[in-house]
Amino acid sequence: MIKLDPEWVIENFSISQHVDNYGMMTALTFGLKVGVFMQFLLETLKIDFDVDGEVGDNDNCSFKFRIEDIKIDFPTLYARMIRLNIEFLEDKLKSVNVLE
């Protein structure tokens, strides 16, 4: 029996993950039925998300959700996204000379 961990699924089934300066994360999917599986995963874990793109056969989709919403189910990914978000904010503050 193969046991799939939700964190492994989201990290390996999405082609990339991005953060913004508002505490949001985006997971991009590409490939046959990957978007359907990603949508099922997020809905099953009751994670609120917005999807950009058509979930179905094409599956070029981006799923956007709050970083805080993955804290319990995706602890490693959560920590990585928080670090990326902090780095993003630090770079933003440096660009306006706040952190120098």
18-77 confidence digits (pLDDT tens): 888 788 999 888 876 788 888 888 998 899 999 987 777 666 888 999 999 999 988 988
DSSP assignments along the chain, one per residue: -----HHHHHHHHSSEEEE-TTSEEEEEE-STTHHHHHHHHHHHTT---EEES-TTTT--EEEEEEGGGGTTT-HHHHHHHHHHHHHHHHHHHHHTTS--
pTM for the predicted model, two decimal places: 0.77
